[in-house]
Amino acid sequence: MSQFKNEQEAAAAGVYIRKIQSFVKREGRLTAGQAKSIELHWPTMGLEHASGLQNFTDTFGRQAPVVLEIGFGMGKSLVEMAQNEPDKDFIGIEVHKPGVGACLGEAAEKGVKNLRVFEHDAVEILADCVADNSLARVQLFFPDPWHKTRHHKRRIVQPEFVQKLRSKLAIGGVFHMATDWENYSEHMLEVMTEAEGFKNQSESNDFVPRPAQRPLTKFEQRGHRLGHGVWDLMFERVS
Ligand SMILES: C[S@@+](CC[C@H](N)C(=O)[O-])C[C@H]1O[C@@H](n2cnc3c(N)ncnc32)[C@H](O)[C@@H]1O
């Protein structure tokens, strides 16, 4: 990238720079049920990156605090949260199509109306589709930990990313992360403690107990039984 200030400048010069992404696109098998859910529910619940900047009041037909979740996996806990907090509107972003299908199916089954979904890279959605100061909360639960040191640069929590995310949160809005990988929890804490404009909501300036709003997953319950840890971090945008 050396002779260019950023990707846009390189693109304008006709140079394609391979971005470091936080995911590797897995083309896992889409089940017939997931495909059917996408066919049935994408028209009402799907949002397109190509549509550009969203006006959430129009998207949901009302004015309510908006919660955005990055990498919702199969979407079970996202749907449960949307159901438990009907006074808020939820946007889920996931690159894995089977997860999108599973989430739409689950939301439809539960009759959840306050949820919309993007199938796209969350970094690009934040940049292109989310207005500044528009989010009440951003959730990042169990992001890919990228265990190997040489892959740590792929971790989504990085100084530049959290500043982009900060501009999308309203003042007073919260960035909520959870991970079961201790080394990643330490990395998150380090990046967030050094990030301008955020205040740690932890009394001990590190981690917070799992807030009741984040459902305990089966995977996590099993982890607890096996003595594995889970670390929650909550940082408020203060400036
Ligand atoms: C380890 S899984 C955790 C899924 C879910 N949050 C959970 O707790 O079960 C991480 C998920 O993040 C998704 N992901 C990673 N980077 C992403 C990005 N930049 N945009 C959207 N989704 C992403 C992956 O496809 C994967 O499904």
Residue-wise pLDDT for 106-160, tens only, equals 999 999 999 999 999 999 999 999 999 999 999 999 999 999 999 999 999 999 9
What percent of the chain shows pLDDT beyond 70? 96
Burial class (CB within 10 angstroms; exposed 0-12, middle 13-18, buried 19+) of 49: middle
State residue 223's pLDDT score. 76
Q: How far apart are CA 151 and CA 162, in angstroms?
A: 19
State residue 7's pLDDT score. 67
Ligand 1 atom index nearest CA of 122: 20
Give the distance from CA 214 to its chain's centroid. 14
Q: How far is the CA of 73 from the centre of ligand 1 (A)?
A: 5
Q: Are 192 and 162 in contact (CB under 8 A)?
A: yes
Q: Which amino acid is at 53?
A: L
Q: How far is the CA of 3 from the centre of ligand 1 (A)?
A: 33
State residue 122's pLDDT score. 98
Q: How far is the CA of 71 from the centre of ligand 1 (A)?
A: 3
State residue 126's pLDDT score. 98
pTM beyond 0.85: the answer is yes
**Can you read off the two tokens belonging to residue 196?**
């301008």
Whether 27 has a binding-site annotation, put simply, is no
State residue 121's pLDDT score. 97
Residue 13's contacts (CB-CB under 8 Å, 6 or more residues apart) are 4
C-beta atoms surrounding 113 within 10 Å: 14
Ligand 1 atom index nearest CA of 26: 25
Q: How far is the CA of 24 from the centre of ligand 1 (A)?
A: 10
User: pLDDT grade, residue 202 (50/70/90)?
Assistant: very high
Which residues' Cβ are closer than 6 Å to ligand 1?
22-23, 70-73, 93-96, 99, 121-123, 141-144, 156
Q: How far is CA 100 from CA 165, 168, 171, 179, in A?
A: 22, 23, 30, 21
User: Residue 139: which of 76, 232, 229 has the closest Cα?
Assistant: 232
Task: Look up residue 227 and give its DSSP letter.
Answer: T
| Higher per-residue pLDDT: 19 or 65 | 65
All domains of the chain in start order, with CATH: 62-237 (3.40.50.150)
Q: Which amino acid is at 124?
A: E
State residue 1's pLDDT score. 45
User: pLDDT grade, residue 2 (50/70/90)?
Assistant: low
Number of residues assigned to the chain: 239
Whether 132 has a binding-site annotation, put simply, is no
* Helix intervals (H) in 21-173: 32-45, 56-60, 76-84, 97-110, 122-129, 159-168
Give the active site residues: 144
Residue nearest to atom 12 of ligand 1 (CA): 71
Residue nearest to atom 9 of ligand 1 (CA): 73
What percent of the chain shows pLDDT beyond 90? 83
Which residue do the tokens 């260019």 mark?
A: 4
C-alpha dihedral (236, 69, 159, 95), degrees to nearest 10:
180
Whether 220 has a binding-site annotation, put simply, is yes
Q: Over range 50-76, report the average pLDDT.
A: 97
